[in-house]
A and B are shown apart, each in its own frame.
Chain A
Amino acid sequence: MTAYILRRLWQMVPTMLGVIILVFFLFNWVGGDPAYILAGKMSNIEQINNIRHQLGVDQPYYVQLWIFIKQIVTFDFGVSWSTGETVAHVLATRIGPSLTVLIPLTILETLIAIALALGIAFVRGSLTDRLVMVACTVGMSISILVYIIVFQYWFAYKWSIFPVQGWGDSVVENLFHYSLLPILIGLAVSVAPTLRLFRTFVLDEVNQDYVRTARAKGVSERRIVWVHVLRNAAIPIITYVMSNLPGLLIGVFLLERFFGIPGIGREVILAVDRSDFPVIKAITVYVAAATMIFNLLTDLLYQAVDPRVQLK
């Protein structure tokens, strides 16, 4: 097991190096001279040279790349270009609000989608099944922006059931007051595609031999679906949920933006808007690293769910 984990971590090195080179290429080469962005319009040659020296962009490219790698390893990306806050502090304070929305959203979405998918598996091919699938397709076709704008207008602005936006200091207040509507909208948007996917996972299993065997020995239909099928469908479901988590950190950015939640996603939008390169660079590199770690965790979880899986 330890050997397996170590080898997997070792295999991540070239990919991580690739991510670093890609980000470096984008921001230090395609992005042009950052000194001009930083100095703004009111600048003279001296100021620009001064900034260039501070950032190290007057050095050759390999030195700059080395500086970048050192920044990643030491978690020291310097300060944000627009607010002067250190990037490490930006990341540390923005991750909490993002997770406050993300964790309940993921858990609820997965549970609801699994329940619906198994329920639909009972009536596969029927009119209900087809109507639900059409409803999913239509629901997926409406832009998330429309959901957010309309829900925020009716539920928060018009009917005042939820706060329009805002964020407090206490976790309980944030979770049970400010996060409710964002989570509700997140569910409205994400259950449809997830359900469609989980339905195919379940339908892949219901035609297997073990289901026929279970039926032959008189196991109830309910028990077949909720015990036998679910246990087997769990593997692709876990893969999907786990590998999606780091992406969701960014994926909830629209919710964060509309509801004024100071999370990672909103930070990305602000950073792109202000050309705040250090913040985007740091978020991109660390989210990529998190994605790789999560893929490893997913594989480790397999073994817990399915004893047949041998990690080699």
Chain B
Amino acid sequence: MSINETQVSPGLWTLAWRRLRADKIAMFAMTIVLLFLLLLVLSATGLVAGDWDSEVGVNYAPPTFVGAQSADERISSAPAASAEAPPENPLDPLKDIIRQLRKESATSQPPIVNDYGIADPIGKEMAEIRQELAKSGSKAVVVRRETLPFGADKWGHDIIKKTIKGSETSIVVGLVAALLATALGTVFGAVSGYFGHAVDDFFNWFYSIFTSIPNMLLIMAVAAVLQHKGVTTIVLILGLTGWTGTYRLIRAEYLKHKAREYVLAADAIGASHWRKMFSHIFPNVSHVALVQMSILSVGFIKAEVILSFLGFGVPVGVVSWGSMLNEAQNELILGKWWQLTAASIAMAVLVTAFSLFTDALRDALDPKLK
């Protein structure tokens, strides 16, 4: 008895995990992907970059390592802010202290609690009105910063925070859409491969329809029809059009597995179709679905960026890598390269890491391939 317990042979997932662990590039890529996901969770809960849309810098404030622009170089900045904060003198011995003071005054928000120490029901609105007055009026309460660690956009939003918020949108869209597409492909493939005959013919017909229309054209056609813009809409567009590859692979797996002995045994003890399909066969083909989901996530993140760039993706007011690139396209002509760089690098790093991880995952789960 004890011998049996100590000599449990490792399962598919344990073996795959061991192979993955041995692959240094894969582990490095996985760490980066996990860091992005951690950032996503922090950003979604508002712990990080929750205040990305507060205007902390002057318009198009350059990155700190570039240095502040002279006044005539600036396209259009708030006159009040520039009057309050003259360009920094690099020889000034007090410049660090001044910068620190400016930073504090820029980040301090007007208190919601009123002067009497009681929570003010319209405190937030009042604070906003005060801010508006400060921006347009003669007396500036909030001093906008001349430079930010990686610059500011047209409105003076901190680029780093904006990029984090954009990552959240783009990655969430990619992952949820991939989950939807994989689920659809798996269910269609399972039903088609398992039942065969007329059911299989029907789904194959359905598959041939979706694959005869080029993917991007299908996405655009659905985008044209769904007039309502939103994160849900774009997830639906990508998810409903992207299931075909998963379907083909999962169907082939089910065709192979349905004649195996363990399925016949399950049949003999009276397992229902549903139970055989999803309790018995699915765990044996789930690695295919996982790899597909990983591949689709990368593709959908890229697709979301393109759709949002064209204005068919996330609505106005929601920031994603695509909407950032859209703004950055015009900024580049003005010489404001930082938003473009930030969004491009964030996306390139994540997609590279995700792709390398996907490759390693596929190799680890299916060692026959290589």
A272 to B225 CA separation, bound complex (whole angstroms)? 8
Chain A to chain B contacts (Cβ below 8 Å), 27 pairs: A18-B205, A22-B210, A26-B221, A27-B221, A27-B225, A31-B225, A137-B352, A137-B355, A141-B349, A141-B355, A142-B347, A144-B306, A145-B325, A146-B348, A149-B328, A149-B340, A150-B340, A246-B214, A251-B216, A257-B310, A272-B223, A272-B312, A280-B220, A284-B213, A284-B221, A287-B213, A287-B217
- Least CB distance, B308 to chain A, in whole angstroms: 10
- Interface residues of chain B: helix, strand, loop or mixed (majority): helix
* Other 17 A-B pairs with CB < 8 A, given A18-B209, A283-B217: A15-B208, A22-B209, A30-B225, A31-B225, A137-B355, A141-B349, A141-B352, A142-B351, A145-B322, A145-B329, A146-B347, A271-B224, A272-B224, A272-B312, A273-B312, A287-B217, A288-B213
Which of A138, A141, A253, A275 has the most C-beta atoms of chain B within 10 angstroms of its own C-beta?
A141
**Contact status A247-B214, CB under 8 Å:** yes
A19 within 8 A of B: yes
B305 within 8 A of A: yes
**Contact status A23-B221, CB under 8 Å:** yes
Number of A-B contacts (CB under 8 A): 121
Interface size class of B (residues with CB under 8 A): 35 or more
A18 to B211 CA separation, bound complex (whole angstroms)? 11
B114 within 8 A of A: no
Q: A278-298: contact bitstring with B at CB < 8 Å (1 yes, 0 no)?
A: 001001100110011000000
A143 within 8 A of B: yes
B13 within 8 A of A: no
A5 to B318 CA separation, bound complex (whole angstroms)? 51
B344 within 8 A of A: yes
A14 to B131 CA separation, bound complex (whole angstroms)? 64
Among A233-287, those with CB < 8 Å from B are 246-247, 249-251, 253-254, 257, 268-269, 271-273, 275, 277, 280, 283-284, 287
**Contact status B347-A143, CB under 8 Å:** yes
- Interface residues of chain A: helix, strand, loop or mixed (majority): helix
Q: Which residues of B contact A27 (CB under 8 A)?
A: 221, 225
A150 to B340 CA separation, bound complex (whole angstroms)? 9
Q: Name A's B-contacting residues (CB within 8 A).
A: 14-15, 18-19, 22-23, 26-27, 30-32, 137-138, 140-146, 149-150, 153, 157, 246-247, 249-251, 253-254, 257, 268-269, 271-273, 275, 277, 280, 283-284, 287-288, 291-292
